[in-house]
Structures are given as structure tokens and as C-alpha cells.
Amino acid sequence: MKLLEGIDEKLAEFIRQQHVFFVATAPLSPDGHVNVSPKGGDCFRVLGEHEVAYLDYTGSGAETIAHLRENGRIVIMFCAFEGKPDIVRLHGQGTFVTLEDPAFEELAALFPNHPGARAVIRIRVDRVSTSCGFGVPFMDFRADRDVLLKYCENKGPEGLAEYRKVKNAKSIDGLPAL
């Protein structure tokens, strides 16, 4: 493992080339559930040496937002499935900006428009590390899935707002989310 001072251009380029990343958060309670979510598509941006953001889509849960609301702890992991076997972890404190927040439009403009967007997750990165991915298999990228996009287009803004109200109000541990 190697600790880095921040995200330099070489590391930012590695991050841009990855098709998937993983987000992990946890509640403070030792009885709470740790959450790991895979993310894909063109939804991640390096904003600076110690700041990143990603566009968060409407989904069946809102664990990340609930955990960020409670304690802010978050880690993002990228691992290369092609090329050199590298793993990158970005630890930090996260916040979220929802659709209703006046800052949402400015942040969302950094990403391609997606009808399922529900928030932008911002992370102040305080630890950057790399490690070998010798045990990570090679996997070929075929394409991004379009299922979520079609689902969100069919549901429409009002349908998605209702869905989030019902499905994204609390975490699986009962913490407030959206």
C-alpha cells in the first residue's frame, strides 16, 4: 500500500478510465449495517486534489445519504479490471446536495443529464491510497446498462419523487435519508 498526498493528474486519469467504482459507508451503531454500493456510468468527477463528487441516482435504498447525514464517513474504491492491476481508495467526509437544494443545478451541470439524479455526493478526501490489485480478475467492459435510464424516463419526475418519498425516506436501519 502507498499513501499519496492527494489526487494528482495521473491518478485522476486512472479514475476517469474506470467504468465502475464502489462506495462504502456505515452507521455509527455497531448493530447497523455497513453498505457497499457499485456505481457506473459517467457519474464521477475529480474536483481537486482533495475533492471529488458523484451524481447519485434514484435507487431502491438511500443508505449512503443516511450514513452521510449521520456521520459523514465514506470511502470510494476504484479497481482496474483491465490493464495494470491497481486499486485506489479515497477516504473522506461526504456531504450530499439534493434536488431541492439551490446548489444542485450548478453541481449537476458537471455531469451528463440523467432523469434519475436525486443528489450529488461531495467528498472532502483526507486519505488517498493505492495498492496492488493482483487478485482482481480481468474483465472486459461491454457497455453501460440503460435499464435505470429507461426506468426513470418512464416513471417521470413526479413518479420518481413519489418513489423516493416512499423508498428513500429511511435507511434499512431506520436512519433518516431523503
User: Each residue of 117-165: pLDDT tens digit?
Assistant: 999 999 999 999 999 999 999 999 999 999 999 999 999 999 999 999 9
3-state secondary structure of 63: helix
CB 92 within 8 A of CB 126: yes
105 Cβ neighbours under 8 A, 6+ residues apart = none
Nearest in space to 165 (alpha carbons), one of 69, 157, 64: 157
Mean pLDDT of 11-39: 97
Of the candidate CATH numbers 2.60.130.10, 2.30.110.10, 2.60.40.10, 2.40.30.170, the domain formed by 2-167 belongs to 2.30.110.10
Instruction: Supply φ then ψ for residue 7, to 5 degrees.
Output: -95, 105
Q: Which uninterrupted H or E stretch holds 122?
A: strand 117-132
Neighbours of 4 (CB within 10 A): 15
Q: Tell me the HSE value of 168 on the side-chain side, using a 13 A CA sphere.
A: 18
pLDDT band of residue 102 (cuts 50, 70, 90) is very high
Q: Where are the beta strands (DSSP E) in the chain?
A: 2-4, 20-25, 35-40, 44-48, 51-57, 73-79, 86-98, 117-132
Confidence at residue 38, expressed as pLDDT on a 0 to 100 scale: 97
CB 137 within 8 A of CB 102: no
Which tens digits make up the pLDDT trace of 36-87? 999 999 999 999 999 999 999 999 999 999 999 999 999 999 999 999 999 9
pTM of the predicted protein model = 0.96
